[in-house]
Amino acid sequence: LEAAAAAMTAAPAAKLGVFAGPLVDVETLVCAKDLFNSLGSTSTYGCTSLSADLRADYVLNSTIAGIEEADALLLIGTNPRVEAPLINSRIRKMVRHFDLPVASVGTAADLTYEYEQLGTSAEALASLLTGSSPFAKTLSSAEKPLVLLGLGAASRPDSVAVSSLAKEVAKACGAVKEGWNGYGLIQTAGGAVGALDIGFVPGPTAVPLEELKLVYLMGADEVAFDQISDDAFVIYQGHHGDAGASAADLVLPGSAYTEKSATYVSTEGRAQRAARAIDAPGDAREDWAVLVALSAMLKAPLPFESISDVRERMVAIAPNLIGAAGGTIEAASPELSALALEYKPKAEGSVSTAPLASAMVNFYMSDPVSRASATMAKCTQAFGKRV
């Protein structure tokens, strides 16, 4: 901790940056954001590039159970079989037992049920808007159409343009109305929604990775390491010794989700509390406690003495997280849901004709925990990446 504090003190405040990985809990994110903001940095990067302005823009608004109410479904840039198996099982149930019409725009895949392949690129969305696609009539005649966007579509260079097209399709078919919100995003990371809920996104004075002099990797193992400056000091806080730890000058051992009590938010916006199953090994500590101790050494102490203090701050930022112990969902109002469809940041460039592929690279090894698993490595060897 002393070495970490010395490195952070030596770097200019504006050139400090923190990157959060896909499994970071909300309590840790709150402490990391508050610490770096107090030091004068707004370079706080989450595991997605999504906007945190409107919650209805980055969650599965229908809820997983609500999929069973849909009478037409459009998938855009997602393979739910590998990205969200529970969601896919709901869809499969509706197709097999209730003949739910399903169509997909993106790379073809075996979803375990019949669906109509409309095309691989965003051009198929334009066909839906003009009405030239036969599935346009299916969507427009549905009482509760459901349009699901995947991170494969929401994380491309032309993601703003693609999501704008998806929203136009949702508006045209009446996917958002009183009593029904049929537009949503399928998140693939356990820490993504929680990060967006508390505003863990780059601020107005954020500095790009290549210009940072102090890079703090909070369980982040998928950043562009080749863009980190040679004279930048890299700190990794996390577990399982993945790529981020290998690239770091200093490692602070943290706790895995099985080793701490922590809050996470699901893709449908459900706040959930994980309980500690085992103690962390060696000198590893709960991540929020590491940051609090580090803040004291930096002479910028965070005002937290217990996890309860952190959660009070967490709820003050995002009141919807107050129900984490009970696993509740705070649904967006009809007005905000409609506003989310209208929210379209200015797009740079045109829509690419490249296929809308799934965001999943390897079904069996998608995070630091599974990449450290010998069993998952054997599965990859035996069955391939399954994407």
Tell me, yes or no, whether 179 and 90 share the same domain. yes
Tell me, yes or no, whether 10 and 68 share the same domain. no
CATH code, domain with 179: 3.40.228.10
For residue 239, what are the domain limits?
Answer: 2-52+191-317
Does a structural domain hold residue 327? Answer: no
Give the highest mean pLDDT range of 16-30, 272-286, 341-355. 16-30
Identify the band that residue 96 occupies on the pLDDT scale cut at 50, 70 and 90: very high
Query: Would the pLDDT of 328 be above 80?
Result: no
Residue-wise DSSP of 284-313:
---HHHHHHHHHHHTT---S-SSHHHHHHH
Q: Are 34 and 28 in contact (CB under 8 A)?
A: no
Average pLDDT of the residues in 274-287? 92
Average pLDDT of the residues in 235-239? 95
Identify the band that residue 283 occupies on the pLDDT scale cut at 50, 70 and 90: confident
pLDDT of residue 386: 86
Range 168-185 burial, b when 16+ CB lie within 10 A, else e: bbbbbbebbeeebbbbbb
Tell me, yes or no, whether 97 and 118 share the same domain. yes
Q: Are 64 and 86 in contact (CB under 8 A)?
A: yes
In terms of DSSP bridges, do strands 16-20 and 183-186 run parallel, antiparallel, or are they unpaired? unpaired
The torsion angles phi and psi of 136, rounded to 5 degrees, stand at -60, -40
pLDDT digits (tens, 9 = 90+) for 112-165: 999 999 999 999 999 999 999 999 999 999 999 999 999 999 988 889 899 999
H or E element in which residue 128 lies:
helix 123-130
Q: Are 324 and 308 in contact (CB under 8 A)?
A: no
Does a structural domain hold residue 326? Answer: no
Q: Are 161 and 350 in contact (CB under 8 A)?
A: yes
Tell me, yes or no, whether 156 and 65 share the same domain. yes
The count of structural domains within the chain is 3
